[in-house]
Amino acid sequence: MNESSKILIIEDDEKVRQVLATILKEQGYEIDLAKNGEEAIKKIEVDSYKLALIDVRLPDMDGTKLLPVMHKSSPKMVKIMITGYPTMRSAIEAVNKGADGYIIKPIKIENLLEIIKEHL
């Protein structure tokens, strides 16, 4: 696999993280996982990803706080926010901080795959 198919999933819910990883691996993507913001930051410092799926509510920080850090380290990486608690305010904040997409849980897998394909 090449870098163009490498995806980082940043999600604190282990079940959601594993389901997303399994589905995306079946689609041929190379997957890496992070359970919180700190782990994600460490991973993007040593590896490169084409796309990141970022949970808005992480245990150690808000997912939108990751966006500027990720943009600085990997400006071309596509960043898609995922939330189970959608608000207009969080959507606007995510877009203003550089998110390329905003997906609401429960995730419709067909929609997620379509969005990923569009961005890659």
Closest CA to 50 of 65, 30, 20, 35: 30
Whether 5 has a pLDDT exceeding 90, the answer reads no
Q: What is the pLDDT of residues 44-92, one digit of tens each?
A: 999 999 999 999 999 999 999 999 999 998 999 999 999 998 989 989 9
Tell me the C-alpha distance between 120 and 118, whole Å.
Answer: 6
CA separation (Å) from 96 to 26, 64, 82?
32, 9, 15
Whether 3 has a pLDDT exceeding 60, the answer reads no
Tell me the C-alpha distance between 62 and 49, whole Å.
Answer: 20
> Is residue 2 classed exposed, middle or buried when 0-12, 13-18 and 19+ CB atoms within 10 A define those classes?
exposed
Q: In the structure, what pLDDT confidence band is assigned to residue 101 with cuts at 50, 70 and 90?
A: very high
Residue 11 CA to its chain's centroid (Å) = 8
Query: Could you tell me the domains of the chain?
Result: 3-119 (3.40.50.2300)
Q: Which residues contact 86 (CB under 8 A, 6 or more apart)?
A: 102, 104
Q: How many CA atoms lie within 13 A of 3 on its CB side?
A: 9
Q: Which helix (H) or strand (E) holds 43?
A: helix 37-46
